[in-house]
Protein backbone atom coordinates (compact mmCIF):
# COMPACT_ATOMS: atom_id res chain seq x y z
CA UNK A 1 0.00 0.00 0.00
CA UNK A 2 1.60 3.24 -1.12
CA UNK A 3 0.86 6.77 0.05
CA UNK A 4 -1.58 7.54 -2.78
CA UNK A 5 -3.80 4.60 -1.87
CA UNK A 6 -3.67 5.57 1.80
CA UNK A 7 -4.67 9.13 0.91
CA UNK A 8 -7.57 7.84 -1.18
CA UNK A 9 -8.89 5.75 1.72
CA UNK A 10 -8.46 8.68 4.09
CA UNK A 11 -10.27 11.04 1.73
CA UNK A 12 -13.16 8.60 1.34
CA UNK A 13 -13.43 8.06 5.10
CA UNK A 14 -13.34 11.80 5.79
CA UNK A 15 -16.02 12.43 3.17
CA UNK A 16 -18.30 9.76 4.67
CA UNK A 17 -17.80 11.14 8.20
CA UNK A 18 -18.55 14.71 7.11
CA UNK A 19 -21.69 13.60 5.25
CA UNK A 20 -22.91 11.74 8.35
CA UNK A 21 -22.26 14.83 10.51
CA UNK A 22 -24.10 17.03 8.00
CA UNK A 23 -27.20 14.84 7.92
CA UNK A 24 -27.30 14.47 11.70
CA UNK A 25 -27.05 18.26 12.06
CA UNK A 26 -29.89 18.79 9.57
CA UNK A 27 -31.99 16.20 11.41
CA UNK A 28 -31.26 17.97 14.69
CA UNK A 29 -32.33 21.33 13.25
CA UNK A 30 -35.68 20.04 12.04
CA UNK A 31 -36.53 18.00 15.13
CA UNK A 32 -35.48 20.59 17.73
CA UNK A 33 -37.02 23.69 16.20
CA UNK A 34 -38.21 25.02 19.55
CA UNK A 35 -35.73 26.34 22.06
CA UNK A 36 -35.86 25.81 25.85
CA UNK A 37 -38.53 28.51 26.26
CA UNK A 38 -40.79 26.95 23.63
CA UNK A 39 -40.25 29.63 20.98
CA UNK A 40 -40.24 28.39 17.40
CA UNK A 41 -37.91 30.82 15.65
CA UNK A 42 -38.66 29.33 12.24
CA UNK A 43 -41.82 31.46 12.27
CA UNK A 44 -39.63 34.55 12.08
CA UNK A 45 -38.25 33.47 8.69
CA UNK A 46 -41.02 35.20 6.75
CA UNK A 47 -40.99 38.41 8.79
CA UNK A 48 -39.45 40.41 5.93
CA UNK A 49 -41.94 39.03 3.40
CA UNK A 50 -45.06 39.56 5.52
CA UNK A 51 -44.50 43.13 6.66
CA UNK A 52 -47.60 44.77 5.27
CA UNK A 53 -49.72 46.80 7.68
CA UNK A 54 -52.64 44.38 7.31
CA UNK A 55 -50.67 41.20 7.95
CA UNK A 56 -51.01 39.29 11.19
CA UNK A 57 -48.10 39.63 13.62
CA UNK A 58 -45.64 36.78 13.95
CA UNK A 59 -46.13 36.52 17.69
CA UNK A 60 -49.20 37.98 19.35
CA UNK A 61 -48.59 40.75 21.85
CA UNK A 62 -50.67 41.11 25.00
CA UNK A 63 -51.71 44.39 26.53
CA UNK A 64 -50.75 43.19 30.01
CA UNK A 65 -47.23 44.17 30.99
CA UNK A 66 -45.18 41.44 32.60
CA UNK A 67 -43.35 42.45 35.74
SS3 34: strand
Give the residue with greater pLDDT, 24 vs 51. 24
Mean per-residue pLDDT, 22-38: 81
Q: How far is CA 54 from CA 13, 26, 31, 38, 41, in A?
A: 53, 34, 32, 27, 22
53 lies in a domain?
A: no
Residues in CB range of 50: below 8 A, 6 or more apart:
56, 58
51 lies in a domain?
A: no
Give the residue with greater pLDDT, 21 vs 44. 21
27 lies in a domain?
A: yes
Domain limits for position 10: 1-33
Give the residue with greater pLDDT, 23 vs 63. 23
User: What pLDDT, on a 0 to 100 scale, did the predictor assign at position 63?
Assistant: 66
What is the tally of structural domains in the chain? Answer: 1
Please tell me the distance from the alpha carbon of residue 34 to that of residue 45, in angstroms, as a whole number: 14
25 lies in a domain?
A: yes
Which tens digit of pLDDT belongs to each residue from 31-47?
A: 877 766 777 777 777 77
9 lies in a domain?
A: yes
Residue 8 has pLDDT above 90, yes or no: yes
Amino acid sequence: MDIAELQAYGYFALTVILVVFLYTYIYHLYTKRKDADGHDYEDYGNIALKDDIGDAPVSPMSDDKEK
